[in-house]
Chain A
């Protein structure tokens, strides 16, 4: 079992719709969770971090965390063509420094 798994994609959504990305993780001791956006050929940039169960909203982005079910999700509301990218889920390993990354979900927003 992979440490972090994401829905494989690619995910194609019309402009203005909601894009929903899911991520599950295997380490029950994980406490910190991150979503990064990566444009083609570029490095990852942080979208959201979440540490507590529930929802966290930042503009058009909402991260949801459920530690009991070991999943974290990202919703992108009012999707724009500029949201077209690969989204990486990252989970902290226990209490340490290391992150485990999922393979990413590629999102395409069609105009």
Chain B
């Protein structure tokens, strides 16, 4: 079964803690993305990667970091610098030729304790 997996489904963060959200895809896609969704709002782009070992900041990168060491994996770290991290985090991937459809994983809901 080809698809995108995200883990965990729910994640709780304590003050001052860094947490890492996992995203894995077996679609052989080159491009991967991280979005944040707040209630009643559209998706906002955090980071994206067009190819292994390269990534670019999106619109709201402050307080987040990513790595892309493998084609299949694009983990997102929410650092303690992100003061309002409570949101629904969505990972997506696409073929990697630009302008094509992005496919989404099931999401991780991050809550602050």
Contacts and interface: CB of A to CB of B under 8 A. Distances in A.
A4 B48 CA distance: 20
Most chain A beta carbons < 10 A, residue from B42, B98, B104, B105: B42
A95 B99 contact: yes
A13 interface: no
B63 to A, nearest CB: 19
B27 interface: no
A4 B103 CA distance: 19
A99 B100 contact: no
B43 interface: yes
Given A31-B99, A42-B107, A97 B42 contact: no
Most chain B beta carbons < 10 A, residue from A42, A44, A45, A102: A44
B107 A43 contact: yes
Contacts of A32: 99-100
Given A97-B48, A98-B58, A101-B43, A43 B98 contact: no
A46 B101 contact: yes
A98 B32 CA distance: 11
Nearest to B103: A46
Contacts of B66: none
Contact of B90 (A43, A46, A95, A103): A43
B101 A34 contact: yes
B3 to A, nearest CB: 11
9 contacts: A4-B42, A42-B106, A42-B107, A44-B104, A97-B33, A97-B94, A97-B98, A100-B42, A103-B42
Interface of B: 31, 33, 40-45, 48, 50, 58, 90, 94, 98-107
